[in-house]
């Protein structure tokens, strides 16, 4: 029962990835006009046009182009960037480590932080602390990411002058220098991602608190702290894991803004630069990486919520 | 005889009144907001008025480089007619915020309305018709929903370039998907209610049922959702502008104003802070209203949907 559901979910995930690749491909190939003519411009002759079209593959029907592109994508051959002519795989591999490091650090800090704060707020509902937490998290999720980033620059870089406002990574920093360089984007992302997780953790626990067995525990006199930590928390783990995966997916959009504002040399910055210069092969590759990660995380979230539901463990 | 009849009538009326007091009686319409909600309404109304009259009350034009110096607020105490100082090339920050309201809020409103028009039409159509129409629209919808919104925006702008029309269409398309999902779910919920079945049995047409039974019942949850969706669209549009991919200079827009003046922060200028605060005040105000409404009246459904 459970295995079937998980397998089914993963199958749907693969189908979604395929559809996503079709959307990305069509959107970026559906350009008005002939790409070869645009590249060659004034110097185009019928012969050079035909040669370039054959080289780019644009003389083939769109379906063939798509499968060719998908095949190349699978084998890691991402093509050549229009600007500068470097291979896309080398451009991406030089950046992806930075973004992964950032995402990993954000996850490592924000997950324990938000579960703790969310639990704490759920333990004291209606108190001043709970209200402050609710107000702060609601405000954070209703302002743009760059607002948080701007305020952080104002406080930490301009007024206190503790941290640099932009990130320069040369590759041979000491650990301390590295930490200091990534601190600003890191803090911003942690705030943005945690706000949603805190809200959902709190809501998840309070939701479980409405169930009959919690009422039973209250009636038989179990202390509130013990009810939350021993009764409610373990039953809320499923929804909470779900929330964590969903919010790591949310990192994808947060990272785009934050890398730009702090000039952090990651994958998102590469993609924004590519969009600005309309370097479409590079945009396609970056978009596939981000969307793929997003879809995989969403599937993980779904699988986690299936696995955590004990009713699905036994076949009926 | 007649006395008996009136007595009976009175009894029935008394019973009906008693029903109105029962816990599952239909909720009374009409809204009472707390002061937090009223504050939200006041801020939103303020910005909507600015959208309309902003450009005509602005002391300077959004594109005029009237100030002699850039970042006036950082370098001199003399503000003159530049109430909030000047930006990185000497344009009046205050006037640009007044002009920018029209772009930021105006574009978002149009995009959200368009998203609603498309989303509700297709959603209720899918719920009412069912079958392959429902299947077809839902699958396409799921595929678009499976992508992060900012990625979709970036892909579209990489392909088509950025203009106000493209921005509105992109935002409308992206957010129509979530409106569709909600409208379809609400529509399906309502379609199985007894009063809709009764209307079917009476022989009413599909259009009449949508207009008179489905829409009035879906209106309240959809209205709260409209507020939240507008917030998302404002955040989406200003994020793109902030990345330099939304509203193009020299037109003013709150997102791009933050980007342009970011460097000024290091000199002590607040030119980037004011537009950021404007966005924050607008989006937080809408959230306050929505929170207030959902806490009061049957908002659990609307909250669950978001």
pLDDT, tens only, B66-92: 666 666 666 666 666 666 777 777 778
Instruction: Kindly calculate the radius of gyration of chain A based on its CA atoms and give it in whole angstroms.
Output: 24
Identify whether the C-beta of residue A251 lies closer than 8 Å to the C-beta of residue B222. Answer: no
Put simply, the answer to whether A252 touches B151 (Cβ < 8 Å) is yes
Domain B40-304 -> CATH class: mainly alpha
Least confident of A83-92, A215-224, A253-262, B139-148: A83-92
Identity of the residue in B144, B242, B284 whose CB atom sits nearest the CB atom of A257: B242
What is the pLDDT at residue A58? 63
Question: What residues of B are in contact with residue A287 (Cβ under 8 Å)?
Answer: 151, 154-155
* In the predicted structure, residue B58 carries a pLDDT above the cut 70: yes
Record the pTM.
Answer: 0.79
The structural domains of chain B, with segments of one domain joined by +, span 40-304
Whether residues B284 and A143 touch (CB distance < 8 A) is answered with yes
- pLDDT number for residue B71: 67
Picking from A22, A141, A146 by the largest number of B CB atoms within 10 A of its own CB, the best residue to mutate is A146
- Pick from B151, B177, B262, B280 the residue to mutate for testing the A interface (most A CBs within 10 Å): B151
Q: How far apart are CA A39 and CA A210, in angstroms?
A: 64
Chain B residues inside the 8 Å CB shell of A254 = none
What is the model's pLDDT at position B305?
36
Q: What distance in Å separates residue B80's CA from the closest CA in chain A?
A: 25
Share of chain B above pLDDT 90, in %: 10
* Between A164 and A205, the higher pLDDT residue: A205
Which of A82-91, B121-130, B186-195 has the highest mean predicted lDDT (pLDDT)?
B121-130
Q: What is the pLDDT of residue B112?
A: 94
Task: Answer with the residue of higher pLDDT: A173 or B281.
Answer: B281
- Asked which of A61-75, A189-203, B160-174 is least confident by mean pLDDT, the reply is A61-75
Instruction: Using CA coordinates, name the residue in chain B closest to A295.
Output: B146
Distance between CA atoms of A196 and A44, rounded to whole angstroms?
A: 53
- Judged by CB atoms closer than 8 Å, whether chains meet at A30 and B159 is answered as yes
| Rounded average pLDDT over B258-265 | 82
What pLDDT shows up at residue B293?
A: 75
How does residue A177 score in pLDDT terms, banded at 50, 70 and 90? confident
On chain B, the residues whose CB falls within 8 A of the CB of A192 are none
In this prediction, residue B1 carries a pLDDT of 43
Q: Say if the Cβ atoms of B158 and A295 lie within 8 Å.
A: no
Q: What is the pLDDT of residue B154?
A: 86
Check whether B115 has a pLDDT greater than 90.
yes
Rounded Cα distance, A10 and A315, in Å: 20
pLDDT mean over B95-108: 88
Q: Which chain A residue lies closest to B229 (C-alpha atoms)?
A: A142
Q: What is this model's ipTM?
A: 0.77
Alpha helix ranges (H) inside chain B: 2-21, 35-57, 72-75, 93-129, 131-145, 149-160, 164-191, 194-202, 206-209, 215-242, 254-260, 273-296, 299-305
The answer to whether B155 contacts A142, with C-beta atoms less than 8 Å apart, is no
Question: What DSSP assignment string belongs to A106-158?
Answer: HHHHHHHHHHHHHHHHHHSTTSHHHHHHHHHHHHHHHS-HHHHHHHHIIIIII
Yes or no, beta carbons of A153 and B262 under 8 Å apart:
yes
Q: What is the mean pLDDT of residues B98-127?
A: 90
Question: What pLDDT is stored for residue B296 in this prediction?
Answer: 55
Looking at residues B223-248, what average pLDDT do you find?
A: 86
Separation in Å, CA of A25 to nearest CA in chain B: 10
- Report the mean per-residue pLDDT for chain B: 78
The residue of chain B nearest to residue A139, with distances taken between CA atoms, is B284
Residue B33 has pLDDT above 80, yes or no: no
Q: How many CB pairs under 8 A join A and B?
A: 131
Which one is predicted more confidently, B248 or A61?
B248
Which has the minimum average pLDDT: A37-41, B11-15, B84-88, B168-172? B11-15
Band (B245; pLDDT cuts 50, 70, 90): confident
DSSP at B90: S
Nearest to B276 among A150, A275, A294 (CB): A150
Residue A253 to residue B150, Cβ atoms within 8 A = yes
pLDDT digits (tens, 9 = 90+) for B141-185: 887 877 788 888 888 888 887 888 989 999 999 899 888 888 888
Of A150, A283, A290, the CB nearest to B158: A283
Which one is predicted more confidently, A52 or A199? A199
Q: Does B151 sit within 8 Å of A294, measured CB to CB? A: yes
More confident residue, B8 or B207: B207
Rounded to an integer, the average pLDDT of B45-56 is 87
Per-residue pLDDT band at A212 (split at 50, 70, 90):
confident
Whether the bond into B250 is cis, omega within 30 of 0: yes
Contact yes or no for A35/A58 (Cβ under 8 A)? yes
């Amino acid at each position: 029962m459970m295995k079937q559901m998980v397998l089914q979910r993963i199958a749907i995930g693969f189908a979604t990835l395929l559809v996503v690749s079709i959307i990305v491909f069509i959107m970026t190939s559906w350009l008005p006009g002939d790409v070869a003519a645009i590249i060659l411009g004034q110097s185009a002759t019928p012969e050079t046009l035909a040669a370039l079209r054959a080289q780019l593959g644009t003389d083939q029907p769109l379906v063939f182009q798509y499968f060719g592109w998908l095949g190349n994508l699978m084998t890691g051959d991402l093509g050549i960037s229009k600007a500068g002519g470097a291979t896309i795989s080398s451009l991406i591999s030089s950046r992806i480590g930075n973004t992964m490091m950032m995402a990993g650090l954000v996850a490592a800090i924000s997950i324990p932080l938000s579960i703790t704060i969310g639990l704490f707020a759920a333990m004291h509902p209606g108190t001043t602390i709970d209200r402050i937490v609710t107000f702060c998290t609601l405000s954070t999720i209703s302002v743009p990411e760059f607002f948080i980033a701007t305020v952080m620059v104002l406080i930490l870089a301009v007024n206190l002058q503790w941290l640099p406002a932009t990130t320069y990574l040369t590759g041979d920093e000491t650990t301390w220098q590295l930490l200091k360089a990534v601190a600003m984007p890191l803090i911003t992302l942690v705030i943005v991602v945690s706000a949603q997780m805190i809200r959902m953790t709190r809501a998840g626990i309070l939701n479980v608190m409405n169930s009959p067995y919690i009422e039973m525990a209250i009636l038989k006199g179990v202390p509130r702290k013990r009810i939350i930590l021993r009764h409610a928390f373990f039953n809320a783990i499923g929804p909470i894991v779900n929330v964590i995966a969903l919010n790591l997916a949310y990192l994808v959009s947060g990272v785009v803004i934050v890398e730009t504002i702090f000039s952090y040399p990651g994958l998102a910055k590469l993609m924004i630069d590519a969009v600005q210069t309309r370097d479409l092969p590079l945009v396609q590759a970056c978009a596939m990486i981000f969307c793929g990660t997003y879809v995989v995380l969403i599937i993980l979230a779904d699988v986690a919520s299936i696995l955590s539901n004990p009713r699905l463990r036994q076949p009926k | 005889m007649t006395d008996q009849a009136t007595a009976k009538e009175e009894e029935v009326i008394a019973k009906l009144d008693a029903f109105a007091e029962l816990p599952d009686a239909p909720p009374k319409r009409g809204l009472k907001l707390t002061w937090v909600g009223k504050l939200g309404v006041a801020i939103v109304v303020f910005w909507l008025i600015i959208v309309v009259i902003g450009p005509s009350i602005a002391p300077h034009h959004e594109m005029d480089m009237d100030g002699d110096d850039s970042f006036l607020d950082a370098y001199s105490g003399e503000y003159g007619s530049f109430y909030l100082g000047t930006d990185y090339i000497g344009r009046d920050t205050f006037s640009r915020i007044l002009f920018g309201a029209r772009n930021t809020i105006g574009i978002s409103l149009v995009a959200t309305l368009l998203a609603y028009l498309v989303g509700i039409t297709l959603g209720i159509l899918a719920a009412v018709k069912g079958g392959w129409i429902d299947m077809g629209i839902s699958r396409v919808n799921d595929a678009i929903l499976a992508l992060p919104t900012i990625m979709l925006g970036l892909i579209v702008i990489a392909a088509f370039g950025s203009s106000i029309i493209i921005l509105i269409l992109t935002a409308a398309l992206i957010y129509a998907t979530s409106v569709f999902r909600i409208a379809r779910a609400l529509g399906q919920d309502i379609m199985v209610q007894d009063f809709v079945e009764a209307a079917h049995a009476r022989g009413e047409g599909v259009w009449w049922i949508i207009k008179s039974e489905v829409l009035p019942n879906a209106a309240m949850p959809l209205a709260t959702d409209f507020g939240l969706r507008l917030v998302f669209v404002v955040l989406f549009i200003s994020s793109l502008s902030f990345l330099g991919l939304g509203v193009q200079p020299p037109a003013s827009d709150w997102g791009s104003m933050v980007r342009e003046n970011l460097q000024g922060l290091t000199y002590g200028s607040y030119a980037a802070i004011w537009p950021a605060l404007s966005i924050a005040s607008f989006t937080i105000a809408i959230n306050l209203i929505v929170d207030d409404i959902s806490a009061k009246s049957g908002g659990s459904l609307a909250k669950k949907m978001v």
